[in-house]
Amino acid sequence: WNRDLLLNAIKLNMYETQALTRVDNNFDRTLPAEQAQYANEVFSSSYNLGFLGVTSPILELELEDRLVKAITRFLMELGNGFTFIGNQHVLEYNGKESKVDMLFFHRGLRCLVAVDLKIGAFKPEYAGKMNYYLSLLDRLERGADENRSIGIILCAEKDRVEVELALEDMGKPIGVADYQLIVPKEKLQKVLADEIKAFSEEQGNK
């Protein structure tokens, strides 16, 4: 990394949020080497959305609405450096409107980040739709001093081979991540253990 990227990584505490697994994306082919490496540090291959309290199937708009209402928690799950711009962000071009589910800006990467929410499994056509959104963002809203926009397709599940094939010839930087709506068993056990310990200590001090 050059000096600027290294300083940004330190400021954003990347050493605390470094992904432990490979992210499903085409960043290596669509971004400069240094930015691609940095982007792989920023984005995860899976996110835990258990804080939304979803216990039954919901529609994509409801999932989006819950994320917007809990945006602080969602930003924490995404990692450091993200700024929320808005949801259902309108892109108007050639007399037609397109809407990006959620739009962010990442300070370290210096780029817009479009997030497309899906309640089902990943489908190859989602990549084409995201590629179109990114073309619009770069043409209409990308600043002169900003890097090319990045897209993240956030879906309930994904097949890595299918993702790889779908992104193989895409010209825009796109990543695919899945999410879990239920708090992982290990995390839930830790929360319960901490609560029991705190209660026991409180009782012991009485």
pLDDT, block means (10 residues), the chain with 206 residues: 58 51 81 89 83 75 88 87 93 95 94 93 95 97 95 92 94 92 59 64 64
Q: Got the DSSP string for 18-52?
A: --SS--EE-HHHHS-HHHHHHHHHH--SEEE-GGG
Cα 199 to its chain centre, rounded Å, is: 36
Domain count, the chain: 1
Residue-range definition of the domain harbouring residue 122: 3-204
Q: For residue 63, what is the enclosing H or E element? A: helix 60-69
CA distance 30 to 148: 9
Express each pLDDT in 60-103 by its tens digit.
888 888 898 888 888 888 888 999 999 999 999 999 999 999 99
Q: What is the pLDDT of residue 63?
A: 86
Dig out the tokens for 75 from the structure. Answer: 């930003």
| C-alpha dihedral, 160 to 188 to 12 to 17, nearest 10° | -40
- CATH number, residue 66: 3.40.1350.10
Q: What is the pLDDT of residue 5?
A: 57
| pTM (2 d.p.) | 0.73
3-class secondary structure per residue, 125-191: HHHHHHHHHHHHHHHHCCCCCCCCCEEEEEECECCHHHHHHHHCCCCCCEEEEEEECCCCHHHHHHH
CA distance 98 to 152: 16
Sign of the CA dihedral with 173 first, then 94, 87, and 11 last? positive
Please answer whether residues 103 and 113 qualify as being in contact, where contact means their C-beta atoms are separated by less than 8 angstroms. yes
